[in-house]
C-alpha cells in the first residue's frame, strides 16, 4: 500500500484522512483516489491534499465503483454506517451500505483485478447483537467467501475496537459538557471498551496486506472503563450515568469462544481464520479476547494519548 494506486472508500472520514496524512508524512510512493458521497468534505480534503483524486459516488452503485477502481492496486474499504443507535433505528439503510455496498466493493475489485482489498471490521461483529455488528459480520463472511473463490484478488480483514478521537467519538461531547460546567454523561461507569489510535489503525491496515487472504487480523487492544476514559478527558469533572443505548453491551469481545479454535498468534495480536478452515488449536479451551479481561489502561495513560492527539503528534496504544 506504500506504493501504487490506492482507492479508499469513504476516504473523507477520520481513518481515510489519516491514511493520507501518514502517506504524506512518510512519503509513500502512492497515488490515492478517495471515493465518497460528500462533496463538501471532498472540497476540504482537496485543500489539504491537493494531489489526491476525489471521486463522488456511493458504494451502493456498483457501476460507479467499478469505473473508479480502474487501474488500482489496492482498495481500502472504510465506508460504512457505524453508529449503533442510528443503525438500529434505520436498519435497512445500514444493511444496504454495509452489506450490499461491501458486496459491490468486492465485485468491482474482482472486475478490475485489484491485487488487494482490505475490509475494516469491528469488535461488534463478534457474536453480534446489533444491526451494525451483524452487518459487519456479514461483510467479513463476504470477504472470506471471495477469498476462497478468487485466484487473483486477495481479500484481507482487520477487526478492532474503538478509535480514540475518530469521527463520532464521545470526547468532543465530554469536553463541551465540561466547558459548560455540566457533568459528563457516561453510559455506565464500569462499561468497558477496547481502544486504539488512528496511527494504530493505519498500522493494522498496512500489516493486514501481508496476512493470508480471508484471515482477520485482530490486534491485542487494551481497554478501559468508561469512567476511566471520562476522567482522562475531563479530569475532576462530575460524571453522571445515563444508561446504555439500544444494542450496546457492557463489554465487547474481539474473539469469542467459538472462534478461538481458528485463531493463531500474530506480531500485532491474532489471526482469525474462516470458520470453515482447519482448526489451529493454539488457544486454550474457553479462551476469549474480552474488554473486561484484557490489559487495562489508566486515566494517566489515556490522558497522555489525548494530549498527543491534541498536539498532532504520532501516538499508539498497541505494542
Q: How far apart are CA 259 and CA 124, in angstroms?
A: 14
- Residue 293, helix vs strand vs coil: coil
Q: How far apart are CA 215 and CA 116, in angstroms?
A: 13
- Residue 159, helix vs strand vs coil: strand
Q: How far apart are CA 151 and CA 110, in angstroms?
A: 10
Residue 82 among the catalytic residues: no
Q: How far apart are CA 19 and CA 76, in angstroms?
A: 10
DSSP string, 141-177: HHHHHHHHH-SS-EEEEEEE-EETT-TT-SHHHHHHH
φ, ψ at 72 (rounded to 5°): -85, 145
Which of 92, 124, 182, 295 is an active site residue? 124
Q: Which residue has the cell 455540566?
A: 182
Q: Which residues contact 278 (CB under 8 A, 6 or more apart)?
A: none
The C-alpha cell that represents 132 in the structure block: 451494525
**Active-site residue set:** 124
Amino acid at each position: 500500500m506504500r506504493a501504487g494506486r490506492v482507492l479508499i472508500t469513504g476516504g473523507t472520514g477520520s481513518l481515510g484522512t489519516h491514511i493520507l496524512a501518514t502517506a504524506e508524512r512518510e512519503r509513500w510512493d502512492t497515488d490515492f483516489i478517495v471515493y465518497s458521497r460528500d462533496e463538501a468534505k471532498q472540497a476540504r480534503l482537496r485543500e489539504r491534499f491537493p494531489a489526491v483524486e476525489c471521486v463522488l459516488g456511493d458504494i451502493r452503485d456498483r457501476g460507479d465503483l467499478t469505473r473508479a477502481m480502474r487501474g488500482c492496486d489496492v482498495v481500502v474499504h472504510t465506508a460504512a454506517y457505524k453508529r449503533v443507535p442510528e443503525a438500529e433505528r434505520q436498519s435497512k439503510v445500514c444493511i444496504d451500505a454495509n452489506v450490499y455496498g461491501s458486496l459491490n466493493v468486492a465485485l468491482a475489485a474482482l472486475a478490475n483485478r485489484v491485487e488487494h482489498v482490505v475490509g475494516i471490521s469491528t469488535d461488534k461483529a463478534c457474536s453480534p447483537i446489533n444491526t451494525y455488528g451483524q452487518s459487519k459480520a456479514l461483510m467479513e463472511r463476504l470477504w472470506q467467501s471471495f477469498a476462497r473463490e478468487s485466484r487473483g484478488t486477495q481479500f484481507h480483514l482487520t477487526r478492532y475496537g474503538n478509535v480514540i478521537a475518530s469521527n463520532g467519538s464521545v470526547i468532543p461531547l465530554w469536553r463541551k459538557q465540561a466547558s459548560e460546567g455540566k457533568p459528563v454523561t457516561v453510559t455506565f461507569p464500569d462499561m468497558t471498551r477496547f481502544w486504539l489510535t488512528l496511527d494504530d489503525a493505519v498500522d493494522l491496515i498496512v500489516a493486514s496486506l501481508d496476512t493470508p487472504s480471508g484471515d482477520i487480523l485482530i490486534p491485542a487492544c487494551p481497554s478501559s472503563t468508561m469512567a476511566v476514559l471520562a476522567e482522562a478527558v475531563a479530569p475532576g469533572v462530575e460524571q453522571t450515568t445515563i444508561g446504555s443505548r439500544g444494542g450496546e453491551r457492557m463489554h465487547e469481545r474481539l474473539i469469542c469462544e467459538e472462534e478461538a479454535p481458528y485463531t493463531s498468534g500474530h506480531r500485532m495480536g491474532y489471526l482469525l481464520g474462516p470458520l470453515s478452515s482447519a482448526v489451529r488449536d493454539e488457544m486454550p479451551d474457553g479462551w476469549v479476547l474480552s474488554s473486561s479481561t484484557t490489559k487495562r489502561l489508566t486515566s494517566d495513560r489515556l490522558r497522555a494519548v489525548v494530549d498527543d492527539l491534541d498536539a498532532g503528534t504520532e501516538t499508539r496504544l498497541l505494542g
